[in-house]
């Protein structure tokens, strides 16, 4: 079974609104990373949060981590059309690889 | 000035053929990866190499054989292609082996269609 699962699978919001997507995982982690994939392109790293951190910010992105609930959330504030993409969480549990979740497909409606 | 490049971008071939996908990174990274992304966008690691040494072989059929001639290149050769091999294959690299906060840089992907 997959380590990470994103929720919701798909999300459509109006431009300017905030978008929140969640990631749940099963096994204790060293760190959790979020990646964006635009249609037809490779993944791009957005932000990394370590297991001893609870919140991180990068521009319009805010990531939280709750290790007791084994979950993370990615908040994109003031969304733009260019934020339309699929977003993946990836967990590092110390086994030499990242395990990617199922992804959230975000659509920003202009 | 592409950091991680893959060739070809598209590959359409008949079942039973043998094909190769090439990957090069100019980031000076030590570790490279191959991933397979299926039609549902699920991304699964296949192989990783660190400085030309195989680190991960994720129960991939032995029809798939990676080759790393140097740490900047990781090629993927696929024998006897099957319909189920149709997917997007991504190459990625990281400064060092996964762990301690290494982030990965992905190539643009190779879209393989087996007919």
Task: Kindly report, residue by residue over B60-74, the tens digit of the pLDDT.
Answer: 899 999 999 999 999
Sequence-ordered list of residues with C-beta below 8 angstroms from that of B114, at least 6 positions apart, any chain: B13, B14, B15, B81, B82, B83, B84, B85, B86
- B72 in A contact zone (CB under 8 Å): no
Using CB atoms, which residue from B4, B98, B108 is nearest to A98? B98
Task: Give dist(CA A97, CA A91) in Å, integer.
Answer: 8
Of B75, B73, B76, which Cα lies nearest the Cα of B85?
B76
Burial-class residue B10 by CB neighbours within 10 Å (0-12, 13-18, 19+): exposed
pLDDT band at B76 (very low <50, low <70, confident <90, very high): very high
Buried/exposed A31-48: b ≥16 CB within 10 Å, e otherwise: bbbbbbbeeeebbebbbb
What is the architecture, at CATH level 2, of domain A4-109? Sandwich (2.60)
Question: Using an 8 Å Cβ cutoff, are A88 and A106 in contact?
Answer: no
pLDDT band at B99 (very low <50, low <70, confident <90, very high): confident
Domain locations in chain A as residue ranges: 4-109
Which residues on A lie below 8 Å from B43 (Cβ)? 43, 88, 100
pLDDT band at A3 (very low <50, low <70, confident <90, very high): low
- A39 in B contact zone (CB under 8 Å): no
Distance to chain B for A105, nearest Cα, Å: 10
- Residue A62's pLDDT is 98
Residue of B25, B42, B43 to mutate, testing the A interface (most A Cβ within 10 Å of its Cβ): B43
Domains for chain B: give ranges and CATH numbers: 4-114 (2.60.40.10)
């Amino acid at each position: 079974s997959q380590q990470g699962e994103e929720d919701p699978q798909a999300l459509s919001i109006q431009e300017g609104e905030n978008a929140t997507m969640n990631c749940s995982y099963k096994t204790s982690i060293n760190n959790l990373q979020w990646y964006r994939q635009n249609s037809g392109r490779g993944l791009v790293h957005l932000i990394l949060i370590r297991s001893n951190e609870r919140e991180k910010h990068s521009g319009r992105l805010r990531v939280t981590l709750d290790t007791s609930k084994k979950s993370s959330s990615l908040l994109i504030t003031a969304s733009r059309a260019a934020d339309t993409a699929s977003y993946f969480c990836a967990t590092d549990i110390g086994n030499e690889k990242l395990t990617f979740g199922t992804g959230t497909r975000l659509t920003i409606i202009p | 000035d592409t950091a991680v490049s893959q060739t070809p971008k598209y590959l359409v071939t008949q079942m039973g053929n043998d094909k190769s996908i090439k990957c090069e990174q100019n980031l000076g990274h030590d570790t490279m990866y191959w991933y397979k992304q299926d039609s549902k966008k699920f991304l699964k690691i296949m192989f990783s190499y660190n400085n030309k040494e195989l680190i991960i072989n994720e129960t991939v059929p032995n029809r798939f054989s990676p080759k790393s001639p140097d740490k900047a290149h990781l090629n993927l050769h696929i024998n006897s292609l099957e319909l189920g091999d149709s997917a997007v294959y991504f190459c990625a690299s990281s400064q060092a082996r996964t762990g301690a906060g290494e982030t990965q840089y992905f190539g643009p992907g190779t879209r393989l269609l087996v007919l």
